[in-house]
Structure 1
Amino acid sequence: MVNRVFRTALLTVLSCGTACGIALAAQAQTTAPQTTAAATSAPADPVVARVNGEAIHRSDVTRMVSQLPPQVQQMPIEMIYPAVLDQLVSGKLVASAGYKDKLADTPEVKDEIKRAEERAVQRAYIQKEIKARITPKALDDAYQAYLKQNPPQEEVKAAHILVEKEDEAKAIIAELKKGGDFAKLAKEKSKDPVAAQQGGDLGYFTKDAMVEPFANAAFAMNKGDISKEPVKTQFGYHVIKVEDKRTQPQPGLDEVKPQLEQTLSKDIVTALVDELRAKATVETFQMDGSPMPKEEPKPADAAPKAEEPKKK
């Protein structure tokens, strides 16, 4: 079963064409692991197999795993290693047979190698430009823009008791006014099973996280208030207790750095391609090689008529 999965995945990897090009190259800059001092001091890349004297290294295994589907990559390496190694051995045997038949010299293979080289150069160039252009200043500018676009929001920490009928809610409010315990009543009477287990506690939430009638009521209340009238929503009738209010803290740069780098990478690739196009001579043709039809010039807007003199 595992071998069949890897054979399918291997075919997918080997058939990856131009679609694996520019768009994925931008993503590689932010997802590729960075070289560290520990990595440079790691032992040499060991040989893990030999096929007719030709070595297969651990790095070949790592590269193969990185190209497999995410659900397979998440499996323990000890479990998938034998299948990966088996596929690498099979690949070496097939490639050796192809070289023996001098298929490397055929126009088809040379063309495919050229295209693979072109994709690799695309990725390398884009990664180089992304690395050069994501400067500390560019990252800080993006962070400041993010903070402006995502201002701190007010949050409320509230608890509620949900019942089906308005009279039930009014009876609970009356009981609370007499000193009833909110958490105890929530556990006994609330129709919201998840919140009821926590004494009705909903935690902190922003206004847009709740349905409008509930949010409007909760955010209009002060810390310590209990709703004086039931709040009706599509779920039933709520009795709300506001336990705290605060301003939501904004994330630090380190928290949003991966997201900012990904956005900057996409913007850089778009700008880079625009720059290259502006300097290039590009000719496009129809699928049969014939010239593209010329666009019909848009009719010029009719000249405005001279304004007639106003009658006195």
Structure 2
Amino acid sequence: MCLCIPMNNVDGEIVLKVTIKSYRSLLFLMIFIAAACSSNADSADSVAAPAVDNNQAQAVDDSANDPANTTNTIPVNADGVQIVARVNGVEITRNDLDRAIARSSFEAEASDARTLEASVLDTLIEQELIVQAAAAQQITVDDATVNEEYQFYVENAGDTDSFQQWLAQNEYSDAEFREGLRMQLITHQMRDLVIGSIGDEVQQVHARHILVNTQDEANAIMERLRNGEDFAALAATLSNDVTTREQGGDLGWFAQEELLEPLLASTAFSLEPGQIAGPVATRLGFHIIQTLEVGLRPLTPERQANLAQLRFENWLQQQLQNATIERFI
């Protein structure tokens, strides 16, 4: 099973537990406003992160999981403008892409123009999917609401002249900026609908695991466990997860969405306390997992925000998988 969210890799450590990160789709809508009005995307300190020893980890090719269908032919529409992508039949034009790139380049961390172009196109595709889903749910934002939001940013800029100057500097017409605000508000409403309510307590699992490179290694460990060997001792000597093996493979408590590997998380939640399952194949390798405890446990505000984000990102990933997406660049 594929990851719903790409793995983070920091200083050679592959993160297994999820941390809070910015929405690319929401960021695309906000970066222009951020430049003028000092808005900030959500962030938080990272959770304790299991990591794989680089000397033992296996490389994985993700290219086959790309839901987009790319071709080398760039079509044009009736106005003679190049079409860079279609999302369920809706066109994204070269003009759309070029203006989005121009507006976002000052925030970009891409190493080259091609990488930036691909990243911005990904964002446009995601935003179109959000808009389409919102339309299906009859989510709309009226002009009065857009005007109210618009006035907030004008006031933050100081006065109308200052704000109009900023719009011109960032290649925005007044109408384009208002439409961007409309899309932002629609996205927020769709996000709220998808996330629903997250209470102060959620069902969580306390589990531990052993990560190895091959199925044969995992099967051998399962046999040793059946013969009575200690799980923690085997994890300490055999697991590739360098951040948990000294603790006997202990992953701590987590909600289901907080583990980057959905299959591993669902396996942990399916077990009774004390039960062991494996091998569980993921992009990291092969796991032996044992559920130690299960219970309804409180969430910190930071973890509530994290779960909310993960629900939305998982939903967006599902939209990408189910959509008909044609990319021409």
TM range (shorter): 0.3 to 0.5
The answer to which structure has the higher strand fraction is 2
TM-score (norm 2): 0.32
Q: Higher relative contact order by CA 8 Å / sep ≥ 6: 1 or 2?
A: 2
TM-score (norm 1): 0.34
Q: Which has the higher helix share?
A: 1
